[in-house]
Structure 1
Amino acid sequence: MSAGIEFENCDHSKDPIVGCALEGIATTVAGIQDVSIVIHSPQGCASTVAAGYDVHEVDFTKRKVGCTRLFESDIVMGASEKLKNLIKEADKSFNSKVMFVVGTCAADIIGEDIEALCKNLQPEINAKLVPMLAGGFRGNGYDGLNMGLEALLPFIKKQEKTCDNRKRKRKSVNIIAPQANINPTWWADLKWVTETLESLGIKVQSVFSHNTAFEDIENAGHASANIILSHDMGYKFAKKMQNTHDIPVILNDIPLPIGVKNTTRWLRALAEYFRVEKKVEPIIQKGEEMVVDTLRRRALMIIPRYRNCRVAVSADGTIGIGLVRMLFEELEMIPELLLFRSAMPEARGILEQELQSMGISPKVVFSADGYQIKNALEQVNTDAVLGSAWEKYMAEELDIKIAFDVFSPTNRETYLDKPYFGYEGMINMMEVIANDWERAFRSKHIHWTE
């Protein structure tokens, strides 16, 4: 069982790690082709939307973004006409199928009725207008991702329950929230999942959302199952799809495929659901042999260094929950402190099951901000910290010698897309960990002279 930590002087967030709801919505919209987004905000919020497109590596030539650029006078006097004119201009310029009209903190302060404005303006606009309120008052980035997904629900076409339809849907899935992932190259995780599904004869119907055509969103009801690639959000959306379109959520009660044991467990659960057990066993055998062979040749001499190393993990639920078993059972580290950026009830349940099955009881913090992370690292005695560049700097300040810069935001230069999911993913993470271990013991005080 896990145990919490008490924090003093923590009545409000300090150095929040997770962005605002606007960034979450932008991250959802940016992954869909054929759509545009108009934000009713000061110009600074445009950079938040740009960050959402950056997540998908969508360059500026392919971004369809409009901003009303609200000024002080607009906040005082109101800016409905300004928003109407921008929507009309954006409709002509972008020629998109759907336009998300998003209110931000400024629109909340004004009291702008964006829903009524869009309803009244819709007859004059070719694009389907989708009004949304995404002020930072309304939640963090994960909340915004959920809001963005829920806005897509009305566009999913209902399928008639016929024999032909059931046959067509037999082995196909929708993938939900692959972008809610702190792997700096999370799209490689998505690729690993899609390629694995294809090798088992399972079709990927729709991805919510990355490089997804809007037509695929409309046809998501064809799928026979939903798979959430996140423990940080997406559960509410998946449950609503299950209720509305009779598409069950699978694999949502076990860790994602992080490390050898969790990958094998995830693959077997997938194969059992789709009845492709014979196809999956060669994949598992090949993957496990690859890990063992790689470690035998490259890493067996360094794995003993990790044994009994007391480690703090600062991550999201998506990576962090699966990582605990990999660290404890496969690298023989001792997880002393677990810091999560989110606080999904479903994720808590999975984590508790994992900790009970392993018989360990680390300190756990959910919805951790920068202040809490640093404070927790001060309270709990650890030998190493596994997290992002932020935690690496915190560890240096606290004289924790070893820090692994593995997750976003990272200082590591990443030119190749490397998954953290799957058997290869474990090797990719171990490469980062091994290199950072070596760097930790290099002297920073040697001055070389000729």
Structure 2
Amino acid sequence: MANLLTGDLKYDYLSVDEPPVRDERIGGCTAYFGCCSGLKEDFRKGCAQALNRKFSQSGGCQLMLAMGIINTISNIVTIIHSPLGCCSNLAGMAGVRNISRASRGLKTENQTFIHTNLDELDVVNGGIEKLRRAILYADKEYQPEVIAIMNGCVPGVIGDDVDGLVRELQPKVSARLVPVHCEGFKSRFVSSGYDAANHGILKYLIREPKDTDESGTETEYESKERISKTVNIFNVGSNSHKDELELSRLIKKLGLIPRIVPLHASVYDLDRLGEAALNVSICATHDDYMLGHLKERYGTEYVLDVLPIGINCTNRWLRKIAGHFHLEKEVEELIEEETRELIKAIEPFVKVLKGKRAFVGGGETRILTTADFYRSIGMEIVGIKSHNLDRFVQYLLDEIDNPHLPVEVAAGQPAEELNLLKRLKPDIYIGHIGANGWVTKLGIPNIPLFGTTINYMGYSGAYELARRAARALKNTIFSKNISQNTELPLSDEWMQTYPKKNIVRGALF
């Protein structure tokens, strides 16, 4: 099942201190502006992977993406080894963590961050002694199960030996020490931060489990029976708790046992990641590194395919899982029942949405599956914008039957996106929160592509996607009023320039 998307990828990087960046491991495209047919051809030839920008407005940070995974681990202290500016988002991140825990009925925990606050003198002399003091202090003062060391750009440049320090101090502290190499300057792909976090978890946290469960009451037969039906559904933040409930409901209807991992996992939970019959990815961008290595270590097969968003992709996701357990009859009965009920339920919304023009922007797999759903209920997709593109969505691109569909590939770059949106004039925009303010200034109604409290996945998620889009289009006065009374901070010269002129071949120095 995995080979269709991973191809010749190998997962044997745990013998080294840090993972390869995605530029080296999987390649991919971070800059493109053109039509779908042109992108497919350039991607096949390898030309798209070599594109860059004359001018780059904004982007992401590997540190923040790695933190999004690491900070959900229970009973953890996180040390940010970098200058002070790298902690600017930490307060908000701690708040989101506890909101997420509370929504799942988990006990909230104080989120503890320690910062080594590297300065100019440390750049000259090295910051390793500051990090040593921080680790020893964190272990003594807070007594956590895990201490994660997030290595920023500056210690990566000056060569602080973080892994050597971890090997030296591990016998002297009670917590498990986890170095995470998320130096942003090493890669064009901000998603390399996911690999950095997963590398640390795989190498330093996941250990061979004990023979019994935590309570010690499960027999060997019961344990084997449970594991033979257990499906690990991997979530590192791409789905809400409502999504988890919907996907778990569907898995249970097949007679299987769903388990959501590794979000908010304890050390005990992480040690048992290998106790499953099948690992299922929600998003290949997040999960391929983890699932590939778990197969290497435990032999656990995995599904790395579409996000279960919309009717077609949810059906495909369920069939992939059922096929592993030889439940083809059961899954077809489930799909027929759920699809029949959903189509009836969304009929009023389809009447509002049919023929409307939509633009979708965000993560590569999410936008393509979301666009597929809206297209399937009669909407016209007039353009898509992806943070990046790689081999994990190449088959989804091949399934797009509109060769002239405008495609932008850009992490951030709101100036390019707004230029394109002004030309296309869609009826509605579906994209990540953060773009909605800019888009509203163009007078375009919009809904979020993802939200931590909103259901998007499975059949109930498809209902919500249709309902929210129809509601946004029933009253567009707000966005029209905003556009008539505010201005974008972009010059007329820029808005009249075709953004493709900003894309060039080769690296810029």
TM-score for both structures, normalised by structure 2: 0.73
Per the TM alignment, residue 96 of structure 1 is displaced from its structure 2 partner at its CA by 1.9
* Partner amino acid, structure 2, of 1:265: R
3-state SS of the aligned residue for 2:285?
A: coil
Deviation, structure 1 residue 385:
2.6
Match of residue 385 from structure 2: 339
Tell me how far 1:38 sits from its aligned partner. 1.3
State how far apart, in whole Å, the 1-side matches of 2:307 and 2:465 are.
Answer: 15
2:389 maps to 1:352: no
Give the alignment of 1:6-405 within 5 angstroms.
10-16=53-59, 19-57=60-98, 61-139=109-187, 141-154=190-203, 155-157=205-207, 168-179=226-237, 181=238, 186-205=240-259, 207-208=261-262, 210-250=263-303, 252-253=304-305, 255-281=306-332, 283-296=334-347, 298-303=348-353, 306-307=354-355, 309-330=356-377, 332-347=378-393, 349-355=394-400, 358=401, 361-370=404-413, 371-378=415-422, 380=424, 382-397=426-441, 399=442, 401-405=443-447
Partner of residue 455, structure 2: 419
- Letter matched to residue 363 of structure 1: P
CA apart distance, 1:104: 1.0
The whole-number CA distance in structure 1 between the counterparts of 2:52 and 2:299 is 47
One-letter code of the match for 1:237?
A: M
Please give the alpha-carbon distance, in whole angstroms, between the structure 1 residues aligned to 2:317 and 2:52: 41
Q: CA RMSD in A?
A: 3.3
Q: Cα offset for 1:52?
A: 4.3
SS of match in other structure, 2:54? coil
* Of 109-118 and 380-389, the range deviating more from structure 2: 380-389
Please give the alpha-carbon distance, in whole angstroms, between the structure 2 residues aligned to 1:3 and 1:278.
Answer: 40
SS in 1 for 2:279: strand
Whether the 8 Å CA contact 1:178–1:187 is kept in 2: the answer is no
Hey, what does 1:3 align to over in structure 2? 38
After superposition, the Cα gap between the structure-2 partners of 1:206 and 1:35, relative to the gap in structure 1 and judged at 3 Å, is farther
Q: 1:187/1:13 Cα in 2 relative to 1: closer, same or farther (>3 Å)?
A: farther
Shift of residue 103 of structure 1? 1.6
CA-to-aligned-CA distance 1:385-406 (integer Å, 9 cap, x gap): 3224544444455x4x433222
Contact persistence 1:27–1:53 (CA under 8 A): no
Deviation sequence 1:266-298 (CA, Å, 0-9, x none): 2233223223345445543443233233234x4
CA contact (8 A) 1:3 1:362 kept: no
Aligned mates of 2:481, 2:79 — CA distance in 1? 49
2:375 corresponds to which letter in structure 1? Answer: F
CA distance in 2, matches of 1:286, 1:374: 41
Contact 2:349/2:467 (8 A) holds in 1? no
> TM-score w.r.t. structure 1 length?
0.82
Q: Is the 8 A contact 1:388 1:404 kept in 2?
A: no
Q: Distance in 2 between matches of 1:55 and 1:439?
A: 30
Give the match's secondary structure for 1:234.
Answer: helix
Instruction: Check whether the contact 1:176–1:226 (CA below 8 A) recurs between aligned residues.
Output: yes
Q: Aligned pair 1:438/2:474, yes or no?
A: yes
Change (3 A) 1:313 1:422: same
Deviations 1:200-229, CA, capped at 9 Å, x for gaps? 332235602x12121111111111111111
- Aligned-partner Cα distance in 2 for 1:292–1:235: 33
Deviating 4+ runs (over 6 angstroms): 163-166
C-alpha change, 1:2 and 1:138, in structure 2 (3 Å) is same
Provide the aligned length of Structure 1 versus Structure 2: 419
- Identity, % of aligned positions: 23
| CA separation of 1:383 and 1:301: change in aligned 2, threshold 3 A | closer
* CA deviations over 1:361-390 (Å, ceiling 9, x no partner): 522233443233234335556444322454
- Summarize the Cα distance change of 1:439–1:71 in structure 2 as closer, same or farther, 3 Å threshold: farther
Q: 1:159 to 1:389 in 2, by over 3 A?
A: closer
Question: 2-side partners of 1:385 and 1:206: how far apart?
Answer: 30
Does the Cα contact within 8 Å between 2:181 and 2:196 map onto a contact in 1? Answer: no
Q: Distance in 1 between matches of 2:362 and 2:65?
A: 18
Q: Aligned AA for 2:367?
A: G
Question: Quick one: distance in 1 between partners of 2:425 and 2:473?
Answer: 18
The residue type paired with residue 420 of structure 1 is Y
The answer to whether the 8 Å contact 1:178/1:190 transfers is no
Q: Which amino acid aligns with 2:420?
A: A
Amino acid at match of 2:389: A
Q: Is the 8 A contact 1:343 1:367 kept in 2?
A: no
- Residue in 2 that maps onto 1:448: none
Deviations 1:54-73 (A, max 9, x none): 44335885213221223333
Shift of 1:114: 1.0
SS of structure 2 residue aligned to 1:321 = helix
Q: Does the CA contact (< 8 Å) of 2:440 and 2:446 recur in 1? A: no
* Aligned-partner Cα distance in 1 for 2:406–2:38: 5
Q: Secondary structure of the residue that 1:65 maps to in structure 2?
A: strand
Gaps of 5+ in 2: 1-35, 43-47, 102-107, 211-219, 483-509
Is there any run of 5+ residues in structure 1 with no aligned partner, and where?
Answer: 446-450
| 2:6 matched residue in structure 1 | none
- The one-letter code matched in structure 2 to 1:245 is Y
